[in-house]
A and B are shown apart, each in its own frame.
Chain A
Amino acid sequence: AQSVSQHNHHVILSEAASLELGCNYSYGGTVNLFWYVQYPGQHLQLLLKYFSGDPLVKGIKGFEAEFIKSKFSFNLRKPSVQWSDTAEYFCAVRGSNTGKLIFGQGTTLQVKP
C-alpha cells in the first residue's frame, strides 16, 4: 500500500533562513510526486511535481524538490524563505497504476519577519 511520511510537523524559521522539508514515501513501483501548499484562508495549490526526467524539479516562488529514488524521498527546499511562505505544506504520492493520490500529514511552516 502507498503511504507518505512528512517528518517535520511544525517548523519555525526566520526570514532569509533556508528551508528543507522532508518527505518519504512507500510504494514499490513508479510514482508521481507532488508538493502542495495551503496558505492561510486559501485553497490547496500545486507547488511543484515530478513525473519523470530530471530528479531536481523547480516550482513556483523559488521552491525546488529533489527526487532520490534510492531513498524513496522527495524533499522540498528553498534557499531563503519569506514571511509570505507561512503556510501548510503537503507532500503527495501517486503510484502510477493506482490513480490514488495519497497525502502526507502536512508540515506547518511559520516564518518570522
Chain B
Amino acid sequence: DGGITQSPKYLFRKEGQNVTLSCEQNLNHDAMYWYRQDPGQGLRLIYYSQIVNDFQKGDIAEGYSVSREKKESFPLTVTSAQKNPTAFYLCASSIGGIDTGELFFGEGSRLTVL
C-alpha cells in the first residue's frame, strides 16, 4: 500500500539532545512537508521541500533542520536550540509543482522532552 511512514511514533528526549524524526513516502511525490501540531494552534509549517536537494523554511523553522537527499525521504532534526520541542509532528507529501494537489499525511510522531 502506498503511504507515508513516520517513525518513531513516540519519542522521549532529554533537554540538550538533538533528535531526528524519520519520514518516508512511497507515493512518488515530489513535495514533502513537516508540520508541528499543538493544541489550539492548528498545524504550523516547519519546512517544506518541492524537489530533491531543495527545501524552504516554513513559518517556525528556528531550532529545526531538514535534508532531502532522496525523493522518498525527508527527515526532520529537532535540535537543542528549539526552545519548546514537545509537540506532535506531522509529515506530509503531495504530487508537487506550483499548484500541487492535496497533502497526504503520516500518522505523526509525538516528541516529549523530559
Contacts and interface: CB of A to CB of B under 8 A. Distances in A.
B1 interface: no
B81 to A, nearest CB: 23
Contacts of B98: 96-97, 99
Q: In the complex, which range does the number of interface residues on chain A fall in?
A: 20 to 34
Interface residues of B, number: 25
A46 interface: yes
B106 interface: yes
Contacts of A94: 100
A97 B35 CA distance: 20
B90 A44 contact: yes
A100 B58 contact: yes
A90 interface: yes
A4 B42 CA distance: 10
A67 interface: no
A43 to B, nearest CB: 5
11 contacts: A4-B42, A51-B99, A94-B100, A97-B98, A99-B48, A100-B48, A100-B56, A103-B35, A105-B42, A106-B40, A106-B42
Interface of B: 31, 33, 35, 40-45, 48, 50, 56, 58-59, 90, 92, 98-100, 102-103, 105-108
